[in-house]
Amino acid sequence: MSTSDEPWRQRYRNMRVLEVLRCERVTPLMQRITLGGDEIRGIPEGPNLKLVIPRRGAEPVWPMRAADGKPLMPPGHPMPTTRTYSLRRLDRAAGELDIDFVMHGAGVASNWAAEARPGDKIGIGGPGGPEVRPADWYLLAGDHTALPAISRILQQLPRDAKGRAFVQVPHKTEEQAIPHPVGVELIWLHADAGQELEEAVRAAPWPVHGQVYAWLAAESSIVRALRGYVRDERKLGRREFLAIGYWRRGMSEPEYHEKLDHDRGEDFYEAMREDELQRRLDRGP
């Protein structure tokens, strides 16, 4: 196909431009934005995506790919703001995807979601990123910001999956009806912040037999503690868990990424390198 048929190939990192189809307040603090449009065709699958948020009150201008591969904006136009979010749902047949926003304050992304209307445009990079690995028993644990990702994981697990999913939300009104395997216990915790999530995970029984996979996402300090628990105390190998800080108290997302890389740690990157090596071996010479 020509670039006129796939205009995203001319943009920085193949960014697609989608438009708002619907807006829905799922709970008092969770706003769902459904996106679609011509450029959703052939979009990749994956748990995470980059939102490229245009300036408020201005006609959107998107970064193009320069000859050296770097982003290029027209003179006088600053780079749009980018934020990382979870893909809540992708329906290829319907040509739409959902992103859920926690409306927790005056953030760039949550402000955009609060004001979004059908027809508004936003840039999408990805989706992509590591998925949950097959296991005999799953441990999922996250706070309110991780609820969209945990919801997607629960709906994609095998029907006979077993495990526990801990989700910490500010109060009961933030709970959602999430389809999940009968063998996976969904446990809601009600707290704005603090150690409740870590304490609940530590107090839960651990399976005696079988392979375990742990997926952990929350505020930085909680993720660090849970990563230490599953890695050092429960002896999970680096390919048996994924621990990512979604946010850090007192830091913006760009600052958190630049200074602490979302607390990914060497475990994360070593597992990624091993996966890439295995993919190369599978492809053969």
Taking only the tens place, the pLDDT of each residue in 159-212 is: 999 999 999 999 999 999 999 999 999 999 999 877 899 999 999 999 999 999
- Please say whether the beta carbons of 169 and 144 come within 8 A: yes
Taking only the tens place, the pLDDT of each residue in 71-95 is: 999 999 999 999 999 999 999 999 9
| Domains of the chain with bracketed CATH | 7-128 (2.40.30.10), 137-276 (3.40.50.80)
Q: How confident is the model at residue 258 (pLDDT cuts 50, 70, 90)?
A: confident
Cα separations in angstroms, 219 against 56, 147, 160, 173, 263:
28, 13, 30, 21, 10
Amino acid at 149: A
This prediction's pTM? 0.90
CA 233 vs. chain centroid, Å, equals 27
* Residue 2 in this model has a pLDDT that exceeds 60: no
